[in-house]
Amino acid sequence: MGCPDWPKCFGNWVPPTSVTQLPENYKEIYAKFRQRKNERFAKVLTTFGMKETADAIVKNPGVLIENDFNASKTWIEYINRIVGVTIGMMIIAVFVYSIKFWNNQRELTLIAFASLVLVIFQGWIGSFVVSTNLTPWTITVHMFLALLQVALLIYLVNKTSEKKKLIRSSLGFWWLVASMALLGVQILLGTQVREAIDSVALITTRDKWIDNILETFVIHRSFSWLILLVHIAFIVRLGKTHGFGVFPLTLIVLLVSTIISGAGMAYFGVPPFLQPLHLLLATLTFGMQFLLLLKLNRNEEVQLSTK
């Protein structure tokens, strides 16, 4: 919430660096701005049969609470938006370039177009993450759309790579599908932890956050061990399969690093820098899983080395 409006930040393309650059009633101004935006969003949700969700947004007074101006948070959010716009421009370029393949590799053009539509939709959803004051379910949707975007771009990279030799592994394919499904559940559980933290952050200090959401956190933490065991079983199953290179080791390192960063948040009072790092590592783990999935051929049996 460093920038209470979207796509501008406090009404400007270059955000302020001091509260003195804002009008005295800036909180009231942007609360009304977000209220109007939320009313439009509620109409869209109602159109799709989500009236209860729409009413929860419009009638929740907490949605319109404005945070005090914080220059650091404002510029972090602004840089996030600049990066997002840059990604969007690059995806537009990818789609434009992909049009040349329409006649002989139409799949590339279609996936590039899907990626373009998704990044536009992601920006639209992101605007409502802001206007609804970080309503939990909007953050979760925003997160999973980002993972889908990662998957589409990795698919394009793999599809156009000169080194796209399939690795033969029928059983390994389904082990990996199970691993990805479990990671998806774990990310969803992580969003539940985030939602719980958002609630207690208003009433207690950072070092007490985990203690106040212990049950939710323990479920999330315990599930990580199941994910690690399944991944180890997957790696062992394919330990002698040719063609993987360093991919399995990289996957395990990313997964263990994600777990360690989560433990660090639990034992050191949720340091601010570990929160985005934990999320980044989880996303990289998903990306590596998906890339491996594309390189597996589920239609043929594993060929093990006899040496």
DSSP-derived letter for residue 6 is: S
Q: What's residue 242's pLDDT?
A: 57
Q: What is the pLDDT of residues 184-239, one digit of tens each?
A: 999 989 888 888 887 788 788 888 888 888 888 899 989 999 999 988 888 877 76
Structure tokens at 17: 């660096």
Mean residue pLDDT across the chain: 85
CA–CA separation, 182 and 176 (whole Å)? 10
Identify the pLDDT of residue 117: 96
pLDDT value at residue 171: 64
The pTM of this model reads 0.81
Residue position matching structure tokens 């990580």: 224
Q: What is the pLDDT of residue 305?
A: 36
Residue 162: pLDDT band by 50, 70, 90 thresholds?
low
The residue among 156, 163, 158 whose CA lies nearest residue 101 is 156
Q: Within 13 A of 131's CA, how many CA atoms are on the CB side?
A: 22
pLDDT greater than 70 at residue 244: no
pLDDT of residue 48: 86
Give the residue carrying structure tokens 């994910």.
Answer: 227
Q: For residue 306, what pLDDT band results from cuts at 50, 70 and 90?
A: very low
**94-134 per-position pLDDT tens digit:** 999 999 999 999 999 999 999 999 999 998 888 888 888 77
CB atoms within 10 A of CB 214: 12
Tokens of 175: 């082990």
**Banded model confidence at residue 249, pLDDT cuts 50, 70, 90:** confident
Alpha carbon of 33 to those of 4, 11, 41: distances in Å? 9, 10, 13
Name the phi and psi angles at 216, rounded to 5: -65, -40
Instruction: Write down the pLDDT at residue 241.
Output: 61
Question: In angstroms, what is the C-alpha Rg of the chain?
Answer: 22
What is the C-alpha separation between 193 and 198, in angstroms, rounded?
9
Per the CB < 8 A criterion, the answer to whether 28 and 16 are in contact is: no
pLDDT more than 90, % of the chain: 31
Give residue 211's pLDDT.
87
Burial 163-202 (b: 16+ CB within 10 A, else e): eeeebbbeebbebbeebbebbeebbebbbbbbbbbbebee
The answer to whether residues 170 and 299 touch, using CB atoms and an 8 Å cutoff, is yes
Residue pLDDT, tens place only, 15-67: 999 999 998 888 888 888 888 888 888 888 898 888 888 888 888 877 777 78
Distance (Å, rounded) from C-alpha 36 to C-alpha 303?
Answer: 61
Q: Is 16 left (phi over 0), alpha (psi -120 to 50) or beta?
A: beta
By C-alpha distance, which of 225, 239, 197, 98 is closest to 157?
98
Runs of H (alpha helix) within 201-213: 209-212
Q: Is the pLDDT of residue 178 over 50?
A: yes
Pairwise CA distance, residues 63 & 21, whole Å? 25
* pLDDT(256) > 50: yes
pLDDT at site 307: 36
Q: Hey, is 105 helix, strand or coil?
A: coil
Do 251 and 231 form a contact (C-beta atoms < 8 A)? yes
